[in-house]
Every structure is written in structure tokens, then in C-alpha cells.
């Protein structure tokens, strides 16, 4: 549950009231006694613009406009019709891929299931695993990486001097 939704649920009985930050915090703590996090009323408070519309107070809105910012430490609780919801990003749910059904290979004519299994074992027995090199192969670092480290060291020496 977000900060603004906790504040909204806690202040629904006080629509139109002017509350301080401490009062809002107490209302949230009474409504959600098990919640131990912080309550930030200023994140859910927007101010009125010159045209009378609610606008977020900073560059980024941190929550829904549940409160109207009147002055320092003074917030008016907005009614349901006045609340401005932040636009939420809608993420398309990915549909789980349906597993493909394996095509069943028909058994050769005249060969029973046990004979087919024996034939498969014979074929698999002829399979040889790939060769593993005797010595460990160690990848050498790319020369471009060495050059960049040398450049960084030279730059650090110049700045230190």
C-alpha cells in the first residue's frame, strides 16, 4: 500500500478539514497500527494553480493529490471528486507460452516397442562424447582493456600531480 493510499484511507472521515502534518501522521498510525514506516503528507499534497486546478508542487508528483497544500504544515483534505490520481504505467501482462506437443515418431514396421528401445540403446551406445582438451584453456584479456587501464592510470597520475 502506498503512502498516498494510506493517507487517503485514514483521512476519509475528515473531508474538508484543515490538518497539520502531525495530525495526519497520527490518523495514519491509528488506522494502520501494524505499519511501522514513515508517513509523508507533503508527498500526497498538491497546490492550487492560478487557474484553480491542482498541480503537483515539484517537478515530479510523488503520490495522488489527496491533500491540498495551503501553507507550511497546513493541508486540506480533498473530497473524492477533487482527488487527482497520478497516471499509472500500464504494463502488458505476458501470456505464458503454451508448451508444444512433441511429435510421436512411429515405430518402424515389424519392430515392437522393446525392439525399438534396444535399437535406440545401440544407436546411443555408438555416440562418442566430444573431446575435452587436456590442459585448461585460459582466456587472455583483450588488448583494448589493457589500454584503457593504462590510460586511467596515466590520467590519475596527472591529476595527482
Q: Give residue limits of the domains in the chain.
A: 3-77
- How crowded is residue 107: how many other Cβ atoms within 10 Å of its Cβ? 13
Closest by CA position to 45, among listed 69, 21, 25, 23: 69
Query: pLDDT tier at 132 (50, 70, 90 boundaries)?
Result: low
The per-residue pLDDT for 103 is 63
Per the prediction, the chain carries an average pLDDT of 78
The per-residue pLDDT for 96 is 61
On the question of pLDDT at 18 being above 90, the answer is: yes
Q: CA angle, 98 as apex, 95 and 99 as ends, to 5°?
A: 145
**3-state SS, residue 145:** helix
Rounded distance, CA 16 to CA 75, Å? 10
**Which comes out higher in pLDDT, residue 89 or 63?**
63
Pairing of β 54-55 and β 67-71:
unpaired
Query: pLDDT tier at 4 (50, 70, 90 boundaries)?
Result: confident
Task: Report the pLDDT averaged over residues 43-50.
Answer: 87
**3-state SS, residue 65:** strand
The per-residue pLDDT for 158 is 83
The per-residue pLDDT for 20 is 93
Among 18-22, 51-55, 127-131, 142-146, which range has the highest average pLDDT? 18-22
Q: Which three cell numbers stand for residue 105?
A: 515418431
Predicted model pTM: 0.52
Rounded distance, CA 19 to CA 77, Å? 8
Amino acid at each position: 500500500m502506498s503512502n498516498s493510499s494510506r493517507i487517503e484511507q485514514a483521512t476519509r472521515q475528515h473531508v474538508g478539514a484543515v490538518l497539520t502534518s502531525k495530525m495526519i501522521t497520527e490518523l495514519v498510525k491509528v488506522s494502520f497500527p501494524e505499519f511501522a514506516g514513515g508517513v509523508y503528507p507533503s508527498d500526497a499534497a498538491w497546490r492550487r494553480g492560478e487557474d484553480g486546478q491542482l498541480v503537483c508542487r515539484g517537478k515530479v508528483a510523488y503520490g495522488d493529490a489527496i491533500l491540498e497544500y495551503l501553507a507550511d504544515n497546513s493541508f486540506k483534505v480533498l473530497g473524492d471528486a477533487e482527488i487527482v490520481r497520478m497516471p499509472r504505467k500500464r504494463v502488458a501482462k505476458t501470456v505464458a507460452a503454451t508448451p508444444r506437443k512433441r511429435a510421436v515418431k512411429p515405430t518402424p514396421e515389424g519392430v515392437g516397442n522393446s525392439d525399438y528401445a534396444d535399437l535406440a540403446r545401440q544407436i546411443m551406445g555408438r555416440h562418442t562424447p566430444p573431446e575435452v582438451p587436456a590442459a585448461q584453456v585460459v582466456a587472455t584479456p583483450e588488448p583494448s582493456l589493457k589500454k584503457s587501464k593504462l590510460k586511467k592510470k596515466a590520467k590519475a597520475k596527472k591529476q595527482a600531480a
